[in-house]
Amino acid sequence: MIAPGFAGVETQLWIWLIAMIRPGAAFIAAPVFGANGVPLQLRLILSLGLGLAALNSVTIELPADGVASFQGFMLVAGEVLAGLALGFAVQIGYAAAFVAGETIANAMGLGFAAMVDPASGQPTQVVGQFLSVLATFMLLAMDGHLMLASFVVQSYTALPPGGPLLSNDAIWGLVEFGGALLGAGVTIALPVAFALVLVQVVMGMLARTAPSLNLFAVGMPVALMAGLVLMAISLPIMGEGITISLKAGLEKAQSIAEGR
């Protein structure tokens, strides 16, 4: 028998747990928060803090048959879907830096040089790692992590727990936005990659005019040096492209939070 003073404790704990699902799912899919170096305890504390803040704007009602029911399963599934959509929208804008780094590295001949990315734990080319670090700094500089947290809390008003799921238009819009990832990455890498293609064309012409020239001994150092110089020159333009991509991801997350 539960003491009268603790009769509502279990229900309150279930409400807090459900309120944590959406922020937790968003942090798993979002950059910075979803990095392997972020402790799990920190994510739980942040999810609980945002969940408690969201309870001020919406009332969560548990299913009549409990959480371990079909209605409870749909409630949890809706929370997970909404959180993943919010975090993944920002992740798409952030991943454009990886695509740009892969494009530049392959043009420079550094496709074989890879290192472990601390954010994802997967091997990444060094240029992509550099641009991802730059994207992380720029995301934090524009308060993107705080904006994502505000979008998560705002989404409880447009998409209350237990209410309707994300619309088909919102999901399809996220899919179309993901399709623009390749174009955004190529646009960021275009100043350097196009110039490196011209360098490769020049080296090919030299190889045809001087067959005795060792193309591998000369072409790779030239492409590497040209790539480093071109990256140093065009870094402000690339940074602007990364900023535009990050803003697009945050704007997409805001539209999902508003139920659009």
Show the tokens assigned to 237. 């333009």
d(CA 240, CA 221): 28
d(CA 191, CA 131): 14
Residues 6+ apart with CB under 8 A from 239: 134, 138
d(CA 32, CA 91): 9
For the cut 50, the answer to whether the pLDDT of residue 98 exceeds it is yes
Measured CA angle at 119 (ends 117, 122), to 5 deg: 40
pLDDT average, residue stretch 64-80: 77
Give me the helices (H) in the chain, please. 9-29, 40-54, 70-108, 126-141, 144-158, 168-179, 181-209, 215-257
Of 47, 19, 21, nearest to 33 (Cα)? 47
Residue of higher predicted confidence among 212 and 149:
149
pLDDT average, residue stretch 204-219: 69
Kindly list the domain boundaries of the chain, sorted by start residue.
4-257
Any idea which of 57-61, 90-94, 150-154, 242-246 has the lowest mean pLDDT?
A: 57-61
Percent of the chain scoring above 90 in pLDDT: 0
Instruction: Tell me the pLDDT band of 123, cut-offs 50, 70 and 90.
Output: low
pLDDT of the residue at 102: 82
